Amino acid sequence: MLRELAIRNIALVEEVRAEFGPGLTALTGETGAGKSIVIDALALALGARSDPDLIRTGAAEAAVEAAFEVSEIPAVLAALAEAGLQAPEDGVVILRRLLPRDGKGRAYVNNQMVPAGTLRTLGECLVDIHGQHQGRLLLSARRHLEVLDAFGGTAEEAAAFRNQHLAWEGVRREQATLQAAAREQAARREFLAFQVKEIAAAGVEVGEDERLRAERLLLANAERLFALVEETHGALEGEEGAVLARLKVAAVRLADGARFDPNLKPLQESCAQAEVLLKDVAAEVRRYRSKAGFDPGRLEAIETRLHAIERLKRKYGGSVAAVLEVRAAAAADLARIEETPERLKVLAEEEARLYSDLLERGRRLSRKREAAARKLHAGVLAELRELGMPRAVFQVRFLRASAPDGRLMPLRATGLEEAEFLLSVNPGEEVRPLAKVASGGELSRIMLALEGILAEADDTPTLIFDEVDSGIGGGMAEMVGRKLAAVGTTRQVLCVTHLPQIAAMADAHFRVEKRTRGGRTETSVHRLEGEDRVAEMARMLGAAGDSDLPRRHAVAILERAARLRGTRRRGGRG
């Protein structure tokens, strides 16, 4: 509920701070005193669109803060989590709006800057304002089905339907995707099959091109290699004065010298080792020479193969590895395409099963909603009669639709129907949506009637009624006050009123007053107690001069209201 409201530099308000409690709170004051300013300021804190004209003349910035107790409001805690905000440890959320005259406004939740949309989201969970077509919850047709489910106790069944609908829609989306793809898959299938076949037929392997280039280099230089090997063989052992022969002579000479000088022995042994090593080299050269030869056919085959590999690389990627990746991807896509008919068959069976279950759930839900609508219809008409609108007509209209194939289709995930509350205030007029049928005062009474019926279903913790008393008086005013007080037993209600019979039913009473100080007009808000409240009630009754009659009448109204409130607390209703 709203615990405290602080307003600074908005319209005629220089600075106002007011604390509120549970039950019914009345805001009264002379016409033009600024009662609507208080409501407009609260709406700003709840994320309403800002208007620079609201900033007080001469002020650089306007501000409004609203503190709410939210510890037992799951919707608010969920909205905080979704916005990335922590739930307050003390259970209090402070919504703050700053409106600089020059520059963009700023919004805060517990001193953390947020988009204005976050205030609106939280505000929809916290407060519903009725009057001058400001009501958000009950004037919004998209919320009527939700309200009806809460009233009829079908919220859990609606949630189950929604989950089933999500599963059904998921299958339908996959079906649509595959069906759309299937229309393009004939050409795609041929293309993928060609890719797989072409790459597979090539039989290319990673590294094959590097190996072939190395072999091509060898074959292209075969004659030159043979000549070099031949010359090498001759230098080692095939010519006169070859290395091996001369090395052998050197070893013999060193052996002879070692007989006279032992220091030559290691040199002689080194020559012997060198001779052995060179003999191995000569043998390898002879073997290489025996196998060396020029094969024009093999060279041509290598050139052809490399050309084919390079063509594949240019077509499918810069490397053999990339080509093979294309083949793998094409094969996988082709497999999926080949599986499409079977997958579509499975999806069709699944869609039919889910739809059948969805339709059965929807029909059960529809029957319960229709029963709830009849109950709501009777209850609202009874409330409207008590609120001075005996000829009003209230209806819950359901809208259902069929698919082109004739099947009954859920319009949304909310069920087989949409619902809208319709009303006719005057005889002979057709029923129309709530927002289009009534004046501000009539609308407030209609909302009051609905809130009275939906008190347990609607979980908005704070309700504000502005001009609920428009066009009524006398005994009807007392009835409106009693209805407001009844709603106030389950939720916090703030009511702007001009009628003492309504104000008298309030648990708390605030006077909004306009006065001139220092050449400036300003609005103030004060809580009234005791004689101050009696005086305000007398003013509302038209007190003038020294007459004590309005005061006595005010006291009588307050005493009667106290008795009625006491009766209600003991279990009375209406």
Question: What was the pLDDT predicted at 207?
Answer: 83
Neighbours of 484 (CB within 10 A): 27
Report the percent of the chain where pLDDT is more than 90: 26
Cα atoms found within 13 Å of the Cα of residue 518, Cβ hemisphere only: 2
CA distance 539 to 499: 10
Per-residue buried b or exposed e for 20-58, using 16+ beta carbons within 10 Å of the residue's own CB: bebbbbbbbbeeebbbbbbbbbbbbbbbbebeeebbbee
Of 121, 101, 100, residue with least CA distance to 109: 121
What pLDDT score was predicted for residue 406? 60
Query: HEC string of 266-279?
Result: HHHHHHHHHHHHHH
How far apart (Å, rounded) are the C-alpha atoms in residues 333 and 338? 9
What pLDDT is recorded for position 240?
74
Two tokens at 307?
């050309």
Confidence of residue 133 (pLDDT cuts 50, 70, 90): very low
- Strand, helix or coil at 511? strand
Closest to 158 in 3D by CA, of 399, 412, 351, 403: 412
In whole angstroms, give the CA distance from residue 477 to residue 429: 26
- Is a pLDDT exceeding 50 seen at residue 332? yes
Tell me what the mean pLDDT of segment 510-530 comes to: 89
Residue 568 pLDDT: 58
- For 120, residues 6+ apart whose C-beta sits below 8 A from its C-beta are 46, 47, 48
pLDDT of residue 323: 84
* DSSP per-residue letters across 192-210: HHHHHHHHHHHT--TTHHH
- Does the pLDDT at position 279 exceed 60? yes
Q: What is the mean pLDDT of residues 352-370?
A: 91
Residue 462 pLDDT grade (very low, low, confident, very high; cuts 50, 70, 90): very high
The confidence score (pLDDT) of residue 68 equals 95
Q: Which H/E stretch holds residue 81? A: helix 74-82
What's the mean pLDDT in 347-353?
A: 91
| Residue of higher predicted confidence among 279 and 454 | 279
Residue among 319, 334, 323, 297 nearest 202 (CA): 323
Most confident range, picked from 88-97, 403-412, 455-464 = 88-97
Strands, sheet with 61-69, edge to edge from the N-terminal-most edge strand: 13-19, 2-10, 61-69, 92-100, 106-109, 112-114
Which segment, 55-69, 205-219, 377-391, 436-450, is predicted with the most confidence on average? 55-69
Q: What local confidence, expressed as pLDDT, does residue 3 receive?
A: 95
- The answer, yes or no, to whether residue 574 has pLDDT greater than 60, is no
Cβ contacts of residue 158 below 8 Å, gap of 6+?
Answer: 145, 146, 149, 365, 414, 415
Are residues 128 and 135 in contact, defined by beta-carbon separation less than 8 angstroms?
Answer: yes
User: Across the chain, what does the average pLDDT equal?
Assistant: 84
pLDDT per residue over 71-108, tens digit each? Answer: 878 888 888 988 889 888 888 999 999 999 887 889 99
Distance set, CA 437 to CA 174, 421, 562 (Å)? 44, 11, 35
- Say what the pLDDT of residue 128 is: 85
Specify the range with the lowest mean pLDDT, choosing from 149-153, 277-281, 336-340. 336-340
Q: Is the pTM of this model over 0.85?
A: no
For 364, half-sphere exposure in the C-beta direction (CA atoms, 13 angstrom radius) is 12
User: Phi/psi of residue 111, each to 5°?
Assistant: 70, 10
- For 126, residues 6+ apart whose C-beta sits below 8 A from its C-beta are 2, 46, 68, 70, 73, 76, 460, 461, 462
Would the pLDDT of 160 be above 70? yes
Q: State how far Cα 331 lies from the chain centre.
A: 38
Give the pLDDT of residue 510: 96
DSSP state string for 120-154: HHHHHHHEEEESTT---TTT-HHHHHHHHHHHHT-
Determine how β-strand 393-399 pairs with β-strand 13-19. Answer: unpaired
pLDDT digits (tens, 9 = 90+) for 289-323: 776 666 778 778 888 888 888 888 888 877 888 88
pLDDT digits (tens, 9 = 90+) for 120-132: 999 988 998 876 4
Please give the average per-residue pLDDT across 23-33, as a whole number. Answer: 90
Res 454 pLDDT > 80 = no
**Is residue 71 a contact partner of residue 80, using CB atoms and an 8 Å limit?**
no
Say whether pLDDT at 520 is over 70: yes
Confidence of residue 543 (pLDDT cuts 50, 70, 90): confident
Which of 165-169, 435-439, 523-527 shows the lowest mean pLDDT across its residues? Answer: 435-439
Q: In what order do the strands lie in the sheet with 418-424?
A: 393-399, 418-424, 432-433
Contact between 29 and 83 (Cβ < 8 Å): no
CB within 8 Å of 408: residues ≥ 6 apart: 359, 362, 400, 401, 402, 416
Read off the pLDDT of each residue in 417-427 and give the average, rounded to a whole number: 86
Cβ distance 353 to 384 under 8 Å? no
Q: How confident is the model at residue 134 (pLDDT cuts 50, 70, 90)?
A: very low
- Inform me whether the pLDDT recorded for 546 exceeds 70: no
Q: How many CA atoms lie within 13 A of 107 on its CB side?
A: 19
Q: State the Cα–Cα distance between residues 259 and 269, nearest whole angstrom.
A: 14
What's the confidence (pLDDT) of residue 409? 64
CA 387 – CA 452 distance, rounded (Å) = 11
Which CATH superfamily, name and number, covers 2-137+425-569? P-loop containing nucleotide triphosphate hydrolases (3.40.50.300)
Q: What is the domain partition of the chain in residue ranges?
A: 2-137+425-569, 156-361
- The distance from CA 212 to its chain's CA centroid, rounded to whole angstroms, is 58
Please report which residue ranges of 292-319 form alpha helices under DSSP H. Answer: 296-316
Q: Which residue has the higher pLDDT, 332 or 277?
A: 277
Q: Which of 135-139, 329-333, 496-500 has the highest mean pLDDT?
A: 496-500
Contact 50, 75 (CB under 8 A): no
% pLDDT > 70, the chain: 90
In contact, 537 and 500? CB cutoff 8 Å? yes
